[in-house]
């Protein structure tokens, strides 16, 4: 309860939470609200917002922009959350092992981490997605593979500072196995920075997926915010809403996630708690 009170006492965190919750509700309810799907042509191309039954207008093919925005939220959130979960899982596993054991194990795993960090992240992402064939799964795998090193470094730093604490030494004295110490003793105490960085990684993953879709490397069978912008490039000067609305959707979602991350950072900060 203290955590929730500290989190919601920050107006920007509350705003970010409300906006992101609304986006999630819209994404989940899209198939119920718009049963015909986002690829159905409903009228003339490039009808402006406010046209009959088209509050957000139509795109270059005459599809309902409102439906596209709702279904695009599903794709962006799915990729962002799944990629973040995969990256966080990899980063926590490798970072905890490196930080707990140290020595040769730490050096080896950190060299692997540095290998992924010295390669330009988005270039590596494009190569991976192109190699695996553009799809939702390849986007999740590619984004996870370029995102896990930052989690691994944060977790490693936390484990290096916690592995010599009294409660860890007591667990070793009681005969607990290393895996049990890592996951039941140290990791729970290292969760706050992991939670904060993961919330912001969702926003970065959404940006990466949108960029992939804009470049034609997204799933061709799904409509996302990035693919909406890519498909409307030729009409952006005569129909501003075809690119501005999906661009605003990306910006608002990422901004909301960053506000949530800032709020989590304050709420989980022990000094602020005291």
CA–CA dist 41, 73 (Å, integer):
19
DSSP 8-state symbol, 48: P
- Give how far the C-alpha of residue 10 lies from the chain's centroid of Cα atoms, to the nearest Å: 22
pLDDT at 53: 84
DSSP 8-state symbol, 181: I
Tokens 């984004």: give the residue.
143
- Give how far the C-alpha of residue 177 lies from the chain's centroid of Cα atoms, to the nearest Å: 33
CATH classification of 2-38+59-273, choosing from 1.10.8.60, 1.10.3210.10, 2.30.30.100, 1.10.3720.10? Answer: 1.10.3720.10
Residue 51, beta-bridge partner list: 54
Q: What is the mean pLDDT of each run of 10 residues along the chain (274 residues)?
A: 82 94 94 89 89 89 93 93 95 94 92 89 91 91 93 93 88 89 90 90 93 90 92 88 94 94 81 48
- Distances in Å between the Cα of 180 and the Cα atoms of 29, 77, 169, 187, 267 are 41, 33, 13, 10, 28
SS3 label, residue 186:
helix
CA–CA dist 14, 8 (Å, integer):
5
pLDDT at 273: 44
Closest CA to 186 of 155, 157, 163: 163
CA–CA dist 162, 185 (Å, integer):
9
pTM above 0.85, yes or no: yes
Enter the tokens of residue 265: 């950072």
């Amino acid at each position: 309860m203290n955590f929730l009170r500290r989190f919601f006492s920050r107006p920007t965190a509350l705003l970010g939470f409300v906006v992101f919750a609304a986006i999630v509700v819209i994404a989940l309810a899209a198939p119920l609200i718009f049963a015909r799907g986002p690829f159905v042509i409903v009228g003339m191309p490039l009808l402006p917002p406010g046209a009959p039954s088209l509050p957000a207008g139509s795109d270059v093919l005459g599809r309902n922009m409102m439906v596209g925005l709702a279904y695009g939220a599903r794709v962006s959130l799915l990729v962002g959350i799944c990629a973040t979960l995969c990256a966080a899982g990899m980063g926590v596993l490798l970072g905890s092992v490196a930080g707990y054991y140290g020595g040769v194990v730490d050096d080896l795993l950190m060299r692997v981490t540095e290998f992924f960090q010295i390669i330009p992240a988005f270039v590596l992402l494009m190569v991976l997605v192109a190699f695996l064939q553009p799809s939702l799964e390849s986007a999740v795998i590619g984004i996870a593979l370029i995102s896990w090193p930052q989690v691994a470094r944060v977790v490693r730093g936390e484990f290096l500072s916690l592995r010599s604490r009294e409660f860890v030494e007591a667990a070793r004295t009681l005969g607990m196995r290393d895996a049990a110490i890592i996951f039941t003793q140290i990791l729970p105490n290292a969760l706050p920075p992991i939670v904060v960085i993961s919330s912001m990684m969702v926003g970065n993953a959404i940006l990466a997926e949108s960029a992939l879709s804009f470049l034609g490397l997204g799933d061709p069978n799904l409509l996302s915010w990035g693919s909406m912008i890519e498909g409307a490039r030729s009409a952006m000067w005569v129909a501003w809403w075809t690119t501005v609305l999906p661009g605003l959707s990306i910006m608002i979602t990422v901004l909301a996630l960053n506000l949530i991350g800032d709020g989590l950072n304050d709420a989980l900060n022990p000094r602020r708690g005291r």
